[in-house]
Structure 1
Amino acid sequence: MKNSTLVFGASLNPDRYSNLAIKRLVANHKNVVAYGLKQGMVNDVKIETKLVDFNTVDTITLYMNPLRQKPFYNYLLSLKPRRVIFNPGTENPEFYQILKENNVSVEVACTLVLLSTNQY
């Protein structure tokens, strides 16, 4: 069953929104996996530094600027997510189009706001 959220661009820095997103997702009883530049743990969620074949990903929430996203397009599509959330600063019309062509829902939103308003 695809029921996990991939926090893509995860950070160990507690001041970063991706770090807070992991914590809030876990607090809201969501299954969370993470990819980032530095390996470590956030609330018992391991941040992977290698492109793992996460086969349970329903949602990808992006915390990576558009220029850095491009090399990961094929990888992210290979996970066959139902939706991708583009958090503030990650907006990428080129990638929106690619996702839509592959029947992936695109949301330009803030994961933290979606969680806090019960819209996640």
Structure 2
Amino acid sequence: MKKKTAILGATTNPGRYAYFAAERLVSNKHEIVPIGIKKGEVFGKEILNIRDRPSVTGIDTVTMYIGAQNQGEWEDYILALKPKRIIFNPGSENPSLAKKALEKEIDVQYACTLVMLGNGLY
């Protein structure tokens, strides 16, 4: 099943893991919603400015590429997206946000989106 995925911390920089994730998600036919502070396009999708807290519906997965130290102001927004799961990629682990997500019955995974895609576990 294809999963509409919000990429938090999206970037146009091809050297960043968020960019690799966008590329792999698109090549695996998942719809991406890039969200971040960078401007530009990623694989045909405009990066939505997180500061505007863009309204997005139908999100299955939020994949985190924002470090825990920078997530605080966005926690309510992330939870308001009502994803089925949040993947905390290495370096983005946040026990406080994970606890809030679990309280809202959002699945929490400490994993790597790229590895999950590579192993067919996404």
What range is the shorter-chain TM-score in? over 0.9
What's the C-alpha RMSD, in Å, of the aligned pairs? 1.2
* Paired amino acid for 2:13: N
Q: Are 1:36 and 2:36 an aligned pair?
A: yes
Note if contact 1:35-1:51 (Cα within 8 Å) is conserved in structure 2.
no
Q: Which structure 2 residues correspond to residues 71-86 of structure 1 after superposition, within 5 A? A: 71-86=73-88
Q: In structure 2, which of residues 111, 118, 121 is the aligned counterpart of residue 119 of structure 1?
A: 121
| 3-state SS of 1:26 partner | helix
Could you tell me the TM-score, scaled by structure 1's length? Answer: 0.95
The unaligned stretches of length 5 or more in structure 2 are none
* Letter in structure 2 aligned against 1:72: W
C-alpha separation in 1, matches of 2:91 and 2:48: 22
The Cα shift of 1:11 comes to 1.1
Indicate the percent of aligned positions where both proteins have the same amino acid.
Answer: 39
Task: Please report how far the alpha carbon of residue 67 of structure 1 lies from its aligned counterpart in structure 2 after TM superposition.
Answer: 1.1
Secondary structure (helix, strand or coil) at the match of 1:10 reads coil
> Is 1:65 equivalent to 2:67 in the alignment?
yes
| Richer in strand (by share) | 1
Q: Equivalent residues in 2 for 1:82-93 (5 A)?
A: 82-93=84-95
* TM-score, length of structure 2 as denominator length: 0.94
Q: Which residue of 1 aligns with 2:106?
A: 104
- Cα deviation per residue 1:24-58 (whole Å; 9 max; x = unaligned)? 00000001101111121111121111321111111
Residue identity opposite 2:12 in structure 1: L
Instruction: Write the distance in 1 (CA, Å) between the matches of 2:36 and 2:58.
Output: 18
- Structure 1: stretches of 5+ with no match in the other structure: none
Moved >6 Å (runs of 4+):
none
- How do residues 45-60 of structure 1 correspond to structure 2 at under 5 angstroms? 45-49=45-49, 50-60=52-62
